[in-house]
Structure 1
Amino acid sequence: MNNSKKSIRKDNKKVITDLNQSSKMATSLKLWIAAGVVAFIVVVVAICYDAFHQDALVTVDGTDYKLNDIEVMYNVYNQESQTEYMNQMYAQLYSQMGQAGYDYWAEDGVVDQVRSSIINNMEQTEVLYLESQKKKANIKLTSAEKKTITTTANDLMSKLSSKRLRKTKFTKTKLVDYLTKQKIADKYKEQLISSYGITEDTAKANVDESKYDERKVQLIQVATKTTDSTGASKAVSASKLATYKEQMNQYLAKAQAGTDMSKILGKDEKTYTYSETTFLVGQDKIDSKVEKAALKLKNKEIAGSVIEGTDALYIVKMVDTACKDSYNSAVSSEVKTEQNAKLQAAVKKMKTSYKVKEHTKAINALKIGEISLKKGESLTEYASDSDSKSSSSSKATSTPKASSK
């Protein structure tokens, strides 16, 4: 009897122990499930946060501008598209030379330059627009300018792929509003530049004319050296050289007889070429023997014989012994340099006035070259009109407020 009771108690203890263990296992399982659910929620929240949350890149006059704001995204699109266009153009050229896989984006400084241009262009547009409103510059867009803006927006919306439209989040209204703001900023910029009074006459004081001793000549030439597939240069055969000299002497006779140099060669001529070019004396831009012969000529005079240069035969005619092309170009460049220096100084003051703040961490985190496009994809906005979808035209919207979001 006692043994029977002991056995029952043991069995009861075992059952209780098993129940306790099962309860603990169930509790543990629940905890693991709960932990898994929490972890899943954390991951989902993190993904959603990354997808929808954006840090401010730039603050202007108290307004934060983030990546998806049209003020930023349009400049991202513009810079990335231009750079990718160059990338594809260079890649094609290198491929034709047997060097596949070229990546312009990987060149030193390219990504940083694109990043900098995006931010600088965006900031300049914003402060110039704000200043134009503050100064009551009374800038109004013409009907033609409004039409151009609307056409540009329509074209972009019709030519961009659906994938890129999703990436940029462009809409016609956003584009028209921003392009309007940009145009007003540009017109105000032109007002400022005009107010500086910098002209070619004032800029000439900073350009040394004596450094631009220039001549303009007309040339007919034929190469006397060829380049093989390895890049090595080789002189043409003696018989071919003799043929070239004979033909060049015939052309020289025509030129001396008064035939227009530009009309001596046939339209389909490929071996012999005509050109009009300029050179600065003593700066090795042109074959030294051609330069020596040219310096002896007056306007409209032709060298008395065919000139045998380093790698070509030449017929030389003087067009202008006092050519000013390079000097005038230098003066024009000086005007732009001085105007831009003044403008950038003014913009710098505006940025201080409107408390422009760059959020460096967020700016550096931008994945330049991957935001508005995918490297290597077709840039449909650069396609000809016949290749793109037809676009419609509508009236531009009213001038936007700088701080509207």
Structure 2
Amino acid sequence: MASSRRWWAGLRARAGLGGEGPRAAARQAAVLLAISGLVALLALAAGSPRTGTLVIIAATDLGSAALVWLLPWSRWPPPAPIAVTPFALGVLGFSTWAFGGVAAGTGPFFVLFFAWLGLHFAKWVTWLLSPVAAVCYVVPLLLTGQPPDVVGSVAGLMPVAVGVALVINERVEAQRRALDELAGVERWRRALTSAVAHDVRSPLSTIQLVLEMIRDGDLPPDRRNQFLDSALRQSARLSRLASGLLDLDRVESRGTLRLELTSIVLRRACRDATGFLNLPHVVVGVPPDLTVCADPQRLEQILVNLIGNAAKYGAAPIEITAGPGQDGMVRLAVRDHGAGVSEAGRARLFARFGTSGDVPGAVGLGLWLVRELARAHGGDIRYEDASPGARFIVTLPSATG
């Protein structure tokens, strides 16, 4: 059983029937047309008196199936296979008329047609084509003089067909969202692993070097204390890294992130974050007496993320400014002089895994965490076009009210 499933999956992949895109959609439509043609041939082989009609239907269906199969759909945009739908509905209407208005023969194909629509196109396509399909179903019944109850069967068939399309479309959209989320998680996992490996290796190397120097050398007390201070700073850096990783889970669980609020001199915090990152071309234009009420560790995370992003994705110089805002808040801005963020990417800037798309390899987690930390303090973050560059503005509560 497992081997047969693998064989079938391989056959579908080679034939281009699986997956998404215009090629898969068109080839699935070709299969439906071919099945319709084969049904006509089976009716012909069974001795149906409508020989000429069946030959026309079979030839039309099989010929169109071959044409749709062979066209270079992969060169065309995703909505291109919609062009097949008027022809397919016309064939279904003609088949209904040719069989003397026997709707039972073509009704299932109408349902299959709408299932195909729901699988590959947006809901508006289903709604747009539903009245067209109803006309293609009803007109042959009227032309062949069918009684009112047969003509009225459209009231049962069309809602079912449209409902099938909408249900399939909803499931497909849900799967696409889930796949996008999984792709984001995997991208974040790879980037996080790389970042953690980099951030851990550097302080560990420093600590190891200090320990080896203390072990192997007879250092004077002042030099030994200097090296020990360096090792302690690096161990504190590792501790902050571990706390930051735990914050990812705490922030998502909403309400479990504890803040130890205190009055902080903002200029000193900005200089400490800049010194921690060891970045040149950073200008701190923050008044020396401006204070905020914040958790020191969380404020450091906000600053390190914003300044680090400006250095990584923007261009020098990086400017940090701050001043009084509205309603007892402090307005802190970090600006670079790079290309900024495109109009299309701004809506996704602060979403989890929601990178702007302007920078390949960006994880889309740092700005999300900054926003959550700012909101935990009662503030927020927003983006402004600095022309040139990007400006991220964080609001935090003032320590002076």
Would you say same fold, with TM above 0.5? no
Normalising by structure 2, we get a TM-score of: 0.20
Q: Which of 1 and 2 has greater Rg?
A: 1
Q: Larger % of helix: which?
A: 2
Bigger relative contact order, structure 1 or 2 (CA pairs below 8 A, ≥6 apart): 1
